[in-house]
Amino acid sequence: MKKNRINSNLKISVKDLLFLISYLFFMTIFFYWAYQNFFNSYISSYEYIISPWIFGSLFLNIIGYILIFKTPLTEPSLWYVLSSYSFMFGHIFLKIFNLETSLIWNPAIYFSQTEMFKGSLYALQSITCICFGYFVHLSFNKRIEVNFNENSKKEPDIKMFNVGFIIFWIGFVCALINYYVVVTSTYNAGTYVAYADVAGSTGLLDDFSYLVIPGSLYILCSRKWNRQTAKLFTYCICTFFLIIMIFSGSRKSQLFSILTVLLCYNSLHRKNKNKVSSAFINSILVFLFLNLIYIIREYRTNLTSIVPEFFSSLISLEFLRKIFGETFAETGLSMYSVVSVLKYVPSVFQYEYGLTFIRSVLSIFPLGSLFPTFFNAGYSTVLINRYTGIPVGSSLIGDFYWNFGIIGALVLSFFFGQLLGKIGNIKYKFKDRLPMYFSLLFIIFLCIRAGLMDIMRPLVIITVIPVVVDGFFSAQYRK
């Protein structure tokens, strides 16, 4: 992995300037077209109407990330934006490419073509503003590359390892108890439906189970263990989360946990030479993992069938024939959370005007049982989804609109892109903050399919507690 130094100034290269002008030109045309069509009440086959803009923006963003700014694989903005195309427009891709899926439940039946058009239009505008904010930040914050792997030749960071060791075991014990309650309840019931009733019922145990993530990251980043030991540890952590996925039917946080730990390990121990064999093995593992996600989705109401059906699908190779269709069908459900918010705000629910941000900050404290109505009003999954009866989840950009309307949400999206750039700078400015960087990357993953209220407490748990433990060890070392 390469590590960069940050050089912030008001100068901008000709290449970056030309790209920003081109991007701004695209945004101007697209936003003007969006304004002309947003209030059109007679939309049909909306997928074909908006798809040229989706592919155009995707192409332009790939050029920006890869060719212009040479974004590293672990950059939060890269993962958030590219994943958002699948999560926001997955069902559009299904229609455009005529892909097959076995997913029976389709929230599209509850919305009109016009409503889905408006939702996808806003989602694309928001993603575009996020990218523009990120690209503007990088244009004025140059990263001078140096070889990060040189750190591997230095002495391991014992203090970092000790911090990671303590918070890992605190998190792991809490996770074992928490997941034991969840898994036994869901597996005995034989259905994922029981998960919704049990998840979160363990209170602080559920919250502190998140410490497994920063604990693992601190241990890996300390470099106390050699490559083989670190690989074994990484495999064990991933296997742990896979087991939870299989026996509980839950996938979101476990999926992102696995991805975060793998990215951390890869960035620390990646070899300079990319072998064809490694690429081939990694491709097989990705296919197997996607297959498992698909099987969990299909049999989450009959959890005892997951393992045998997984091996059966490997023998028949059925999943290989429809991998893209099933992936887009699964991820694309998130778009309907945005569609739902745009449909019912402000016609049924008023704009929050920033109140969701206040609720999310206060949710850090154990006040939920004292003021349940106040806090539940900040969850679109509780308020809007319960009103509609359509369990489509929530999203960060949906919360942006819910609070400030479309204009305010797009402005906020621009600054969110700037924030993603600043988070990306953490690993370049502070080499001892690499575990914190990957912890924040995990939160960014959650933002794709979660709102502000969903991410605030995990954010505090995985950032503040490690800092407190680190401060304690620093004080001990100074003595």
Q: Please give the tally of structural domains in the chain.
A: 1
Asked if residue 8 belongs to a domain, the reply is: no
pLDDT at 102: 76
Sign of the alpha-carbon torsion through 384, 390, 395, 398: negative
pLDDT at 460: 93
DSSP 63-85: IIIIIIS---TT-HHHHHHHHHH
Asked if residue 398 belongs to a domain, the reply is: no
- Write out the residue range of the structural domain in which residue 192 sits: 153-331+461-478
Distance (Å, rounded) from C-alpha 418 to C-alpha 57?
18
Residue 174 has phi, psi (to 5 degrees) of: -65, -40
Whether the pLDDT of residue 110 is over 80: the answer is yes
Asked if residue 287 belongs to a domain, the reply is: yes
Residues 205-249 have pLDDT tens digits of 888 999 999 999 999 999 999 989 999 999 999 989 888 877 766
| pTM for the predicted model, two decimal places | 0.87
Asked if residue 418 belongs to a domain, the reply is: no
Tokens representing 12 are: 């901008």
Asked if residue 123 belongs to a domain, the reply is: no
Asked if residue 231 belongs to a domain, the reply is: yes
Residues 54-68 have pLDDT tens digits of 999 999 999 999 999
Asked if residue 452 belongs to a domain, the reply is: no
pLDDT at 273: 53
How would residue 368 be classed by pLDDT, with cut points 50, 70 and 90?
Answer: confident
Residues 424-452 have pLDDT tens digits of 888 776 667 889 999 999 999 989 888 89
3 state DSSP class of 1: coil
Asked if residue 94 belongs to a domain, the reply is: no
Residues 6+ apart with CB under 8 A from 462: 210, 211, 213, 214, 439, 442, 443
Residues 185-208 have pLDDT tens digits of 665 655 544 455 555 556 678 889
Distance (Å, rounded) from C-alpha 101 to C-alpha 358?
40
